[in-house]
């Protein structure tokens, strides 16, 4: 993964992020919370599944300690993390037995510092195709995601209020 900064209307040259973010393995689909914590997917051999979600907390702009987000999110596969700006929920892609297709979008809420059991976002979002790549609009009103059915793909969006259907009351 690389970073670039904008100064006076001009972008700097990309700079490769150092360890522990980059490794000798694949790092994919970066997202960042409002406080600077970075979430991403990697296939590092110390993971729980074949693809896991990791995070690293900003310590005054330095990233020193990488952590696997762990169970119940990481199982066989978990990818494409989309973290709420305040880290109150995480939407991610996964291929699981309760899915509608090849990969679906799931949501987990953070309660008392722990992630809840992920819930499939249901048939209003998930289909027999692959749903992946979730991201939030800058105003936090919409969830965007990709869908590909092995023939064609597109980007879709839904009102983010849909996640309220999945919160434990």
- Give 52-58's long-range contacts (Cβ < 8 A, gap of 24+): 52/78, 53/78, 53/79, 53/81, 53/90, 53/92, 56/20, 56/21
What pLDDT was estimated at residue 146? 97
Mean pLDDT of 90-107: 94
Sorted by where each starts, the structural domains of the chain and their CATH numbers stand as 2-166 (2.120.10.30)
User: Does the structure show a pLDDT above 60 at 169?
Assistant: no
pLDDT tier at 110 (50, 70, 90 boundaries)? very high
Split at pLDDT 50, 70, 90, the class of 17 is confident
pLDDT, mean of residues 43-67: 90
Residue among 98, 48, 53, 93 nearest 75 (CA):
48
The per-residue pLDDT for range 24-42, each reduced to its tens digit, is: 999 999 999 999 999 999 9
Place 63 in a pLDDT band, splitting at 50, 70 and 90. Answer: confident
The pLDDT of residue 16: 86
């Amino acid at each position: 993964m690389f970073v670039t900064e904008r100064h006076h209307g001009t972008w700097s040259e990309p700079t490769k992020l150092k360890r522990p973010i980059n490794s000798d393995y694949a790092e994919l689909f970066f997202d960042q919370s409002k406080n600077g914590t970075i979430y991403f997917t990697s296939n590092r051999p110390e993971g729980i599944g074949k693809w896991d979600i990791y995070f690293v907390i900003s310590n005054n702009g330095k990233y020193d300690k990488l952590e696997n987000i762990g169970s119940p999110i990481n199982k066989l596969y978990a990818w494409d993390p989309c973290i709420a700006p305040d880290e109150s929920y995480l939407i991610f892609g996964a291929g699981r037995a309760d899915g509608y297709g090849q990969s679906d979008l799931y949501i987990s809420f953070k309660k008392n510092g722990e992630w809840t059991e992920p819930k499939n976002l249901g048939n209003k979002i998930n289909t027999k195709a692959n749903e992946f790549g979730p991201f939030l609009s800058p105003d936090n009103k919409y969830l965007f995601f990709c869908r590909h059915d092995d023939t064609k793909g597109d980007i879709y969006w839904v009102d983010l209020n849909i996640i309220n259907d999945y919160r434990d009351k």
